[in-house]
């Protein structure tokens, strides 16, 4: 069964450090500034009709009743202010939870115990890599022409182009 077909599927989103900035504990009634990328993602999910829930230890059973009450009020207020609506708040995972977004989670590949590794590349670095790849491809195309004999007389030019590409110069 795919996760899209699980009945009552919901997405859990951690609060501190995931949806709201966290720079150390400042009290149960304090919640950090919204993290725009995560807020926008949630708004997109809600627009698609998905069930999104705040998943936070702030309301875990070890908290006192008073602290839990304070947390629920603070989170509800924060959600209205930053997402425009209330989201369910839970600290309990069940079989309908299809995703959990959390700054502490380490994702593992199912049934293997192997961590799923992601390579974090800045957008600018990614564009540089694409550019470099295209430069190298162009140089290789040129080299192939030389190997074919098409560019026999221009050998020094082809070699210089390849050298420039390898050095990362335009």
Contacts to Mg ion by CB under 5 A: 14, 16-17, 103
Sign of CA dihedral 68, 69, 70, 73: positive
Q: Which residue is nearest to Mg ion (CB)?
A: 17
Q: How far is the CB of 77 from Mg ion (least distance, A)?
A: 19
Rank residues 11 and 165 by Cβ distance to Mg ion and give the closer one.
11
Choice between 17 and 32, CB closer to Mg ion: 17
Nearest distance, CB of residue 22 and Mg ion, angstroms: 6
- 4, two tokens: 């899209």
> What separation, in Å, do the N-terminal and C-terminal C-alpha atoms of the chain show?
51
Question: Whose Cβ is closer to Mg ion: residue 83's or residue 143's?
Answer: 83
Provide the Cα torsion 4, 98, 20, 107; round to 10°: -120
Q: Which residues pair with 54 in a beta bridge?
A: 13, 89
Least distance from Mg ion to the Cβ atom of residue 102, Å: 6
């Amino acid at each position: 069964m795919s996760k899209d077909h699980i009945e009552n599927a919901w997405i859990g989103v951690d609060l501190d450090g995931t949806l709201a900035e966290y720079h150390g504990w400042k009290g149960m009634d304090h919640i950090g500034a919204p993290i725009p990328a995560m807020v926008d993602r949630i708004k997109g999910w809600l627009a698609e009709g998905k069930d999104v829930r705040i998943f936070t230890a702030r309301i875990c059973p070890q908290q006192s009743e008073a602290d839990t009450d304070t947390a629920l009020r603070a989170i509800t207020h924060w959600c209205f202010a930053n997402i425009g609506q209330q989201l369910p708040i839970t600290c309990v995972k069940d079989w309908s939870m299809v995703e959990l977004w959390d700054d502490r989670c380490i994702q593992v590949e199912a049934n293997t115990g192997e961590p799923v590794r992601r390579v974090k590349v800045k957008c600018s670095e990614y564009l540089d890599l694409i550019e470099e790849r295209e430069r190298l491809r162009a140089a290789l195309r040129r080299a192939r022409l030389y190997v074919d004999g098409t560019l026999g007389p221009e050998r020094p030019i082809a070699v210089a182009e390849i050298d420039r590409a390898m050095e990362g110069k335009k």
